[in-house]
Amino acid sequence: MRLASALGQYITVTLSYWAFTLTDGALRMLVLLFFHNLGYSPLEIASLFLLYEFFGMVTNLYGGWLASRCGLTLTMQLGLGLQILALALLLADPSLLSVVYVMVAQAISGIAKDLNKMSAKSSIKLLMPDTEQSRLYRWVALLTGSKNALKGLGFFLGGALLASIGFQGSILVMMGLLLLTLLASLLLLDNQPGTNRQPFTQSFSTSSAVNRLAAARLFLFASRDVWFVVSLPVFLQSQLGWSHVQVGSLMASWIIAYGAVQALAPKITGNHLRPGGSTLFVWAIWLCAIPCGIAAALHWGFDANLFLVAGLLIFGAIFAINSSLHSYLIVAFARRDAVSLDVGFYYMANAGGRLLGTILSGLLYQQFGLISCLLASSLMIALSAMIAKGLKQ
């Protein structure tokens, strides 16, 4: 039975996105912890995610164009199908799971994830009139925050599943959830055709506001992943002796709290924002000081467990507000007649930032340690702040 209302369609897309996000977070933690146990170096672990992030960039650009031609429903369902395929590839015998093989599976997962994200976030623009900016901010914040809370739950789920039923058992559980989600979407969603027939060469944004916001987003997300993705969990396990479940629980709690703050961002910053860069600049400057403070505490020999956990929570709260403001502004600045193109281009920069952060996380940690990753994070936040400052009202 198909859902008739636009809101009903959007809710179904959002629920599908949530189910996908849960498995995506669990898969990342599974891969990270499983291959660390096999003796992979931090740089090798980081390399497992390189194609994931690279193809996220490609997908956001090409996927926005595809959605504009074929419809957001198709791109969302395609993402679910590709994630199931990526999980199936990881069911191979562990002796066959080489770095290259896992990179290919992760590449497919990266394509799948960004098809789903682009589809869900583009849908909001089409439901809101341009005069409803406060309401748009609240809806974007709620979607983004709830998504990240579920991603955090996925981190915990990945660590718990690995400890209880092993790598392959965990993969089978996630495949079952996604198969049910795909079936529900096929039964409930309308296959709405796209309306844009522009050639692919027009996918690059011509809006100076979108381009500047995308550049700021690139450095913002690189600043998070340069210490959060590889170096922090490896440091917790190898240097502080944390278990799989402890690492997974911390990462999960951080993402869940991060998502909650994102959802509350309109209450913290105020609902009535005029699209512009001054608010982004102020919040980025606050964020910039946090990694420097953690690095100083570690350098001076303070309790690493205490300062890492406390610093991570403070960083997460302020980063969440920055991210929520960014997510609102791209939807606000996107052209209504080409929303998936602008949103896709913007999240291509987001994936580029994650790619840069992931590479540097493994490289800097292996060569210089966690403190270097934290200092690199502060530098990238400062660059993001300076770029955002020039964003016009």
Q: What is the per-residue DSSP string for 331-392?
A: HHHS-GGGHHHHHHHHHHHHHHHHHHHHHHHHHHHHHH-HHHHHHHHHHHHHHHHHHHHT--
CB 126 within 8 A of CB 9: no
CB 234 within 8 A of CB 37: no
Q: Residue 355: CB partners within 8 Å, gap ≥ 6? A: 50, 53, 54, 56, 57
Query: Residue 314 CA to chain centroid, in angstroms?
Result: 19
Please give the residue range of the domain that contains residue 71: 6-189+207-389
Predicted local distance difference test score (pLDDT) of residue 305: 87
Cα–Cα distance measured from residue 7 to residue 96, given in angstroms and rounded to the nearest whole number: 45
Consecutive sets of 10 residues in the chain, 393 residues long: mean pLDDT of each?
A: 56 78 85 79 75 77 69 79 91 80 85 78 62 64 70 79 85 91 80 55 62 89 87 85 79 79 78 66 91 92 88 90 83 67 77 86 87 94 89 63
Predicted local distance difference test score (pLDDT) of residue 290: 93
Residue 141 has phi, psi (to 5 degrees) of -60, -40
Predicted TM-score of the model (pTM)? 0.69
Q: What is the dihedral of CA 68, 70, 73, 79, to 10 degrees?
A: -90
Residue 24 placed within a domain: yes
Predicted local distance difference test score (pLDDT) of residue 6: 56
Q: What secondary structure does DSSP assign to 247-266, as a single string?
A: HHHHHHHHHHHHHHHHHHHH
Q: How many CA atoms lie within 13 A of 181 on its CB side?
A: 28
Residue 367 has phi, psi (to 5 degrees) of -90, -40
Which whole-number Å values give the CA distances from 386 to 64, 211, 278, 326, in the listed order?
28, 14, 10, 14
- Tell the burial category of 347 from Cβ atoms under 10 Å away from its Cβ (0-12, 13-18, 19+): buried
Cα–Cα distance measured from residue 212 to residue 291, given in angstroms and rounded to the nearest whole number: 24
Q: 308-352 pLDDT, tens per residue?
A: 889 888 998 999 888 888 877 877 776 666 666 777 777 788 888
Question: At 42, which CATH number?
Answer: 1.20.1250.20
- For the chain, how many structural domains are there in total? 1
Residue 198 placed within a domain: no
Cα–Cα distance measured from residue 393 to residue 382, given in angstroms and rounded to the nearest whole number: 21
Instruction: Evaluate the CA torsion angle 68, 69, 74, 75 in order and state its sign.
Output: negative
Predicted local distance difference test score (pLDDT) of residue 184: 84
Contacts of residues 292-298 at CB distance under 8 Å and 24 or more positions apart, as own/partner, are 292/374, 292/375, 292/378, 294/374, 295/371, 295/374, 295/375, 295/378, 298/370, 298/371, 298/374
Predicted local distance difference test score (pLDDT) of residue 367: 87
Residue 27 placed within a domain: yes
Tokens 């590839």 label which residue? Answer: 89
Q: How many CA atoms lie within 13 A of 104 on its CB side?
A: 9
CB 269 within 8 A of CB 140: no
